[in-house]
């Protein structure tokens, strides 16, 4: 049999080529899967970085707001109380410095009030206390803080069995609720705001409801309104960070209900 016409050689070459092709496919699939894994890892790292940035941003915002309220509190409350106490003391005549003097007693009372205000306030302004005191207590205090405005009625309701929440998530949830309440106070022209917190392990539902002027929910999704509704956008991006969902129900003249659903915030 002449060598050139051999089918065996063709079969041999073809078999080798097929096996080599299969081997190449194996290697190619390994590289593709490695590339996919690398991309996935990169995405996870980006998400983690974004989450950390958001936490930092939230802490900074809380800090800035805290400084503002410290300034206001010192000016409007503590400073006034101390000024009043000083006025009482300045009004004293040389012969009047006696125990049980009404002006001295009044000044003492005012100084005590100022001291207690400073003490209470210093506790409230510490962001770490949000984590320490728990979400329920923190939201209750937030409601109490807004209640002091006197112009709006505030209600807070908590239901279900309380369970520990991941501290980082707690801070984000607090910030979302704070944003929702601030928006209602600033823009809704409402007379009543109700906050609800429902624990249903491992889910958590927080609801902020006002009876203000409301808005069309489609408004904040359009391009032009994006800037105006930066607050809502922040709330949505923060909710995404903790894998929570936000539902906004509102229409003109019918108030707004913002509901936050957290399913992955229970501390392990």
Partner 1 sequence: MNFNRDILPFIPLAVLFIAAVVSLRSFKNNFPYYLKAFSVYWCFVFLVDVTGHILIRANITNSNHWLYNTGQMITALFMPWFYFQVIGAGKHKLLLNGLLLVISLALLANTLFLQTLLKLQTNTFAFTGFIVVSLAAVYFWQLSRSEENFVLIRDPLFWINLGLLFYYAATAPFLGMLNYVYNHYPKFTGLYFKIVAYGFSIFLNLCIIIGFLCRNSHQKSPSS
User: Cβ(212)–Cβ(188) under 8 Å?
Assistant: yes
CB of 53 to partner 1, least distance (A): 23
27 lies in the binding site for partner 1 (CB under 8 A): yes
* Residue nearer to partner 1 on the CB measure, 31 or 148: 31
- From the list 154, 125, 115, 164, the residue with the least C-alpha distance to 265 is 164
Contact segment (CB under 8 A) with partner 1 among 5-13, 78-86, 93-101, 132-140 equals 5-13
| Torsion region of 150: left, alpha or beta (phi above 0 gives left; psi -120 to 50 gives alpha) | left
42 touching partner 1, by CB under 8 A = no
| Cα 218–chain centre separation | 23
Q: Which of 46/71 has CB closer to partner 1?
A: 46
Segment contacting partner 1 by CB under 8 A, of 20-28, 120-128, 186-194, 234-242: 20-28
CB of 47 to partner 1, least distance (A): 16
Phi, psi of 86 (to 5 degrees): -65, -40
Per CB under 8 A, does 86 bind partner 1? no
Strands (E), 74-188: 153-159
Strand ranges across the sheet with 256-262: 153-159, 192-200, 203-210, 256-262, 245-250
Q: How many residues bind partner 1 (CB under 8 A)?
A: 22
31 lies in the site for partner 1, by CB under 8 A: yes
Contact region with partner 1 (CB under 8 A), list: 9-17, 89-97, 191-199, 212-220: 9-17
Token digits of residue 212: 């203000």
Residue 252 found at the interface with partner 1 (CB under 8 A): no
**Cα 81 from Cα 79, distance rounded (Å):** 6
Which residues contribute to the site for partner 1 (CB under 8 A)? 1, 3, 6, 8-9, 12-13, 15-16, 19-20, 22-23, 26-27, 29-31, 33-34, 37, 41
């Amino acid at each position: 049999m002449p060598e050139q016409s051999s089918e065996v050689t063709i079969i041999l070459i073809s078999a080798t080529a097929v096996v080599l092709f299969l081997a190449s496919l194996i290697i190619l699939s390994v590289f593709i899967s490695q590339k996919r894994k690398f991309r996935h890892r990169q995405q996870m790292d980006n998400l983690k970085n974004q989450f950390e940035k958001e936490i930092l941003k939230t802490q900074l915002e809380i800090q800035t707001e805290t400084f503002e309220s410290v300034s206001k509190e010192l000016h409007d409350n503590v400073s006034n109380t101390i000024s009043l106490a000083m006025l009482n003391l300045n009004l004293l005549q040389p012969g009047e410095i006696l125990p049980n003097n009404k002006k001295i007693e009044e000044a003492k009372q005012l100084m005590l009030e100022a001291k207690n205000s400073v003490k209470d306030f210093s506790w409230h302004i510490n962001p770490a206390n949000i984590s320490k005191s728990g979400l329920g207590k923190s939201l209750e205090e937030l409601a109490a803080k807004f209640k002091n405005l006197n112009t709006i009625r505030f209600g807070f309701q908590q239901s279900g069995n309380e369970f520990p929440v991941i501290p980082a998530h707690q801070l984000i949830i607090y910030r979302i609720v704070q944003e929702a309440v601030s928006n209602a106070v600033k823009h809704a022209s409402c007379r009543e705001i109700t906050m609800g917190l429902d624990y249903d392990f491992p889910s958590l539902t927080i609801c902020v409801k006002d009876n203000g002027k409301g808005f069309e929910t489609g408004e904040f999704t359009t391009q032009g309104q994006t800037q105006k509704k930066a607050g809502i956008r922040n709330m949505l991006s923060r909710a995404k960070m903790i894998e929570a969902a936000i539902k906004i129900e509102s229409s003109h003249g019918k108030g707004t209900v913002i509901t936050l659903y957290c399913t992955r915030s229970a501390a392990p």
